[in-house]
Amino acid sequence: MATFQELARNYAERIRSAIASDGLSNRTKVYADDLRGSNTLLEAKRIKREIDSLVYSGSNTPLSEADKRDILERLNQELGLPTHRQKSFGIVESASNDDLADLADEIENVLGGKK
């Protein structure tokens, strides 16, 4: 299995590609309705499922919740999302909860490069 940082970097690239394929940019306002059925939403959900199904190479046991959280935090860092936030969702968690308003906010943070 790749390192957590390598996984996060790969996931970030996939999300950036999905955002671009949806035609979203730092010049556009992102609304929840824009994300219904979007490539970004679908890719974020795929990534969440992948993270949830990761296993340790040696023992073939599922990753611990702490390790999954570590990967998600690294993913958020790769995307340039603010860290140590009081209300910390991230793209993957927002998508998996179908919280499209929070997902729209997170995408705008990625597009705007907010830290």
pLDDT in the model for residue 58:
87
Asked whether residue 45 carries a pLDDT value surpassing 60, the answer given is yes
Residue 54, pLDDT > 80, answer: yes
* 55 contacts 61 by C-beta, under 8 angstroms: yes
Structure confidence at residue 86 (pLDDT): 47
Asked whether the beta carbons of 89 and 99 are under 8 A apart, the reply is: yes
Name the amino acid, one letter, at 5.
Q
Helices (H) and strands (E) in the chain, counts: 6, 0
Q: Is the pLDDT of residue 84 over 60?
A: no
Q: How far is it, in rounded angstroms, from Cα 17 to Cα 14?
A: 5
Would you state the pLDDT for residue 89? 60
Q: Which helix (H) or strand (E) holds 87?
A: none
Mean pLDDT value across the chain: 87
- Per the model's pLDDT, the better-predicted residue between 109 and 86 turns out to be 109
Angle at 72 between CA 70 and CA 76, to 5 degrees: 115
**What distance in Å separates the CA atoms of residue 1 and residue 61, rounded to the nearest whole number?**
12
Q: What is the arithmetic mean of pLDDT over 3-11?
A: 96
Mind listing the pLDDT tens digit for each residue in 18-28? 999 999 998 88
Q: What is the DSSP letter of 113?
A: T
Q: Which helix (H) or strand (E) is 104 found in, with range?
A: helix 100-112
Query: Whole-angstrom Cα distance, residue 82 to residue 41?
Result: 20
Instruction: Indicate whether 97 pLDDT > 50.
Output: yes
